[in-house]
A and B are shown apart, each in its own frame.
Chain A
Amino acid sequence: MLDLTPKEIKERKAITINPSKTCQPVGAMYAALGVHNCMPHSHGSQGCCSYHRTVLARHFKEPARATSSAFSEGACVFGGGSNIKTAVKNIFDIYDPEIIAVHTTCLSETIGDDLKGFIDAIDIPEGKYVLHANTPSYVGSHITGFANMVAGFINGLSKTTGKKNGKMCVIPGFVNPGDMREVKRLLKLMGVDFTMLPDTTGVLDAPMTGKYEMYPKGGTKIQDIIELGDCEKTLALGSFASEAGASALEKLYKVPYTALKMPIGIGATDELIMELSKFSKQEVPYEIEEERGQLVDIMIDSHQYYDGKKVALYGDPDVLVALSKFLLELGMIPKYVITGTPSSAFDKQMKALFEEFGVEGCIAKQDSDLFELHQLIKNEPVDLLMGGTHGKYIARAEDIPLVRIGFPVLDRYVHPYMPTVGYRGAMRLLELMLGALMDRQDRDVKDEDFELVM
Chain B
Amino acid sequence: MSKVDSVLDKYSAKVYKNRKKHVIELENQVDEIDANRRTIPGMMNHRGCCYAGCKGVVLGPLKDIVLLTHGPIGCGYYSWGTRRNKAIPQKGDGNFIQYCFTTNLGESDIVFGGEKKLRAAIDEIVDIFHPKAIFICATCPVGLIGDDLPAVATEVKQKYGIECISFPCEGYKGVSQSAGHHIANNKLIKSVIGTKEYTPTAHSVNILGEYNIGGDAWEMERILKRIGYEVISVMTGDGSIDDIRRAHTAELNLVQCHRSINYIAEMMKIQYGTAWIKADFIGVDCTVKTLRDMAAFFNDPELTARTEAVIAEELEDIKEEMEYYRSKLTGKKACLFVGGSRSHHYQMLLKDFGIETLLAGYEFAHRDDYEGREVIPSIIPDADLKNIEVLEVEKIEGKYKEYRPQSEIDELHKEVVNLEDYPGMMPDMKKGSVIIDDFNHYETEEFLKMLKPDIFFSGIKDKFVIQKEGILSRQLHSYDYSGPYAGFKGAVNFGRDVTMGLYTPAWGFTVAPWKTESILEGTLLEATNGGEV
- Name A's B-contacting residues (CB within 8 A): 1-4, 6, 10, 12-19, 21-23, 25-26, 41, 44-48, 50-55, 57-58, 61-76, 83-84, 86-91, 93-95, 105-107, 110-111, 136-139, 141, 206, 208-213, 340, 342, 371, 390, 393
Contacts and interface: CB of A to CB of B under 8 A. Distances in A.
B461 interface: yes
A111 B144 contact: yes
A137 B74 contact: yes
A70 B445 contact: no
Nearest to A25: B74
B482 interface: no
B462 interface: yes
Contacts of A67: 41-44
A46 B47 contact: yes
Interface string B49-60: 111100000000
B25 to A, nearest CB: 21
B48 interface: yes
A71 B50 CA distance: 12
Given A15-B124, A47-B50, A90-B42, A62 B464 contact: yes
B466 to A, nearest CB: 8
A74 B383 contact: yes
Contact of A94 (B11, B124, B125, B384): B11
B391 interface: no
A47 to B, nearest CB: 3
A107 B42 contact: no
Contacts of B79: 51
A94 B469 contact: no
B171 A138 contact: no
Nearest to B114: A138
A107 B141 contact: yes
Contact of B45 (A18, A46, A54, A111): A46
Interface in B369-405: 383-384, 387
A139 B106 contact: yes
B386 to A, nearest CB: 9
9 contacts: A14-B123, A15-B101, A23-B77, A46-B47, A47-B75, A51-B74, A67-B41, A67-B44, A94-B43
Interface in B442-493: 442, 445, 460-470
B125 A15 contact: yes
Contacts of A136: 107
Contacts of A83: 41
B319 interface: no
B12 A89 contact: yes
A54 B442 contact: no
Contacts of B470: 210-211
B140 A105 contact: yes
A91 B127 CA distance: 50
B173 interface: yes
A25 B77 CA distance: 13
B98 A2 contact: yes
B271 interface: no
B518 to A, nearest CB: 19
A212 B11 contact: no
A27 to B, nearest CB: 11
Contact of A48 (B15, B143, B171): B171
Contacts of B82: 54, 58
Contacts of B75: 47, 51
Contacts of A51: 48, 52, 74-75, 78-79
A64 B463 CA distance: 10
Interface of B: 10-12, 15, 38-52, 68, 71-82, 89, 94-96, 98-107, 109-110, 117-125, 127-129, 139-141, 143-145, 171-175, 383-384, 387, 441-442, 445, 460-470, 510-511
A393 to B, nearest CB: 6
Contacts of B141: 106-107, 110, 138
Contact of B98 (A45, A111, A393): A393
Contacts of A91: 42
Given A14-B120, A19-B77, A138-B105, A65 B384 contact: no
Nearest to B448: A212
B120 A10 contact: no
Which of A2, A25, A46, A52 has most B Cβ within 10 Å? A46
Which of A19, A45, A67 has most B Cβ within 10 Å? A45
A22 B98 contact: no
Contacts of B464: 57, 61-63
A206 B89 CA distance: 42
Nearest to A8: B128
B174 to A, nearest CB: 8
A76 B98 CA distance: 33
Contacts of A44: 140, 171
Contact of A210 (B102, B174, B511): B511
Contact of B77 (A1, A22, A62, A106): A22
Contacts of B119: 14
Which of A4, A47, A73 has most B Cβ within 10 Å? A47
B464 to A, nearest CB: 5
Contacts of B48: 46-47, 50-51
A93 B11 contact: yes
Contacts of A93: 11-12, 15
B38 A70 contact: yes
B104 A87 contact: no
Nearest to A44: B140
Given A47-B49, A55-B78, A106-B139, A72 B511 contact: no
B73 A22 contact: yes
Which of A2, A22, A87, A138 has most B Cβ within 10 Å? A138
A442 B124 CA distance: 42
Given A14-B117, A212-B445, A73 B384 contact: yes
Nearest to B445: A212
- Give the 8 A-B residue pairs with the shortest CB-CB distance, closest first: A47-B49, A87-B42, A23-B74, A14-B120, A87-B41, A90-B42, A51-B78, A16-B104
A22 B82 CA distance: 14
Contacts of B100: 17-19
A65 B442 CA distance: 11
B121 A14 contact: yes
Nearest to A58: B460
Contacts of B99: 2, 4, 17-18, 371
Nearest to A24: B74
Contact of A15 (B49, B78, B103, B469): B103
Given A45-B172, A107-B172, A139 B107 contact: yes
Contacts of A69: 41-42
A13 to B, nearest CB: 6
A210 B506 CA distance: 12
A224 B341 CA distance: 47
B42 A47 contact: no
B74 A212 contact: no
B72 A137 contact: yes
Contacts of A75: 172
A48 B43 CA distance: 15
A414 to B, nearest CB: 14
B20 to A, nearest CB: 15
A287 B52 CA distance: 51
Nearest to B387: A73
Contacts of A87: 41-42
B391 to A, nearest CB: 19
A73 B41 contact: no
Nearest to B39: A70
Contacts of A45: 49, 140, 171-172
Given A72-B384, A95-B442, 20 more contacts: A14-B117, A14-B124, A16-B73, A16-B102, A22-B77, A48-B49, A50-B461, A54-B461, A63-B461, A70-B38, A70-B39, A72-B175, A90-B43, A95-B441, A106-B140, A138-B105, A209-B510, A210-B511, A211-B469, A390-B80
A138 B124 contact: no
Contacts of A48: 49, 74, 171
B384 A74 contact: yes
Contact of B129 (A4, A57, A86): A4
